[in-house]
Amino acid sequence: MLPAREWIWIALGLFHLAVTAVAIRPGIGRSRWLLAATLCAAIPLAGPLLALLVRRVRGAGLAHRDDDEAWVPPRPSAADVRQLAELPPIVDRLMSPDIAERQTAMLQIIGSGGTGAITVLRWVIEHGTPDVVLEAALALDEIDQRALAAGQRSAS
């Protein structure tokens, strides 16, 4: 006759096998099945239970906020457009060897902070000289910090 401790181990082993068999049976997508099988193999006892969760739980995707669509970007005035037309293209100003012109362009692009500004700054990071790359990276960080601060203000 086996001692009680061995019967407990046998029962736990059979439980592990039974739940593993249920967790990795066909009928789910390949990636979910692979995750379930990996959990069963890698984590004793809790792995099959986690694998059952992988089988049953479905993600709901990202939440969509209604106020995202309500925001309308400000329209520039005619004077703003004329003033911008007189300036060299922003990329030329960002890549300029003149530090003052480059910093003015960086401040302008940080002020706009839109997706176009981020795209331009990423291009400058890929193609610029080391000082320009550093300034563009700092500008991206500044845009990110402003966006976070604005998000915190609107949430409170």
Which tens digit of pLDDT belongs to each residue from 10-58? 888 888 778 777 777 777 778 888 888 888 888 877 888 888 888 787 7
Taking the CA atoms of 105, 106, 112 and 114 in sequence, report the sign of the dihedral they define. positive
Confidence at residue 156, expressed as pLDDT on a 0 to 100 scale: 57
Q: What is the pLDDT of residues 102-150, one digit of tens each?
A: 888 888 888 877 777 888 888 888 888 888 899 889 888 888 888 887 7
From CA 140, how far away is CA 132, in angstroms rounded?
12
134's tokens: 């550093």
Dump the DSSP string for 3-65: -HHHHHHHHHHHHHHHHHHHHTSSSS-HHHHHHHHHHHHHSTTHHHHHHHHHHH---------
From CA 62, how far away is CA 82, in angstroms rounded?
41
Taking the CA atoms of 73, 75, 79 and 81 in sequence, report the sign of the dihedral they define. positive
Confidence at residue 78, expressed as pLDDT on a 0 to 100 scale: 85
Q: Helix 46-56 crosses helix 30-42 at what angle (to 10 degrees)?
A: 170
Confidence at residue 21, expressed as pLDDT on a 0 to 100 scale: 78
pLDDT band at 69 (very low <50, low <70, confident <90, very high): low
Domains of the chain: 9-56 (no CATH), 77-155 (1.25.10)
Find where tokens 């990110």 sit. Answer: 144
Confidence at residue 146, expressed as pLDDT on a 0 to 100 scale: 83
pLDDT at 100 over 80: yes
Cβ proximity of 143 and 110 under 8 Å: yes
Find where tokens 């309500």 sit. Answer: 70
Half-sphere exposure in the Cβ direction for 11 (13 Å, CA): 7
Most confident option among 23-27, 62-66, 75-79, 119-123: 119-123
Confidence at residue 63, expressed as pLDDT on a 0 to 100 scale: 61
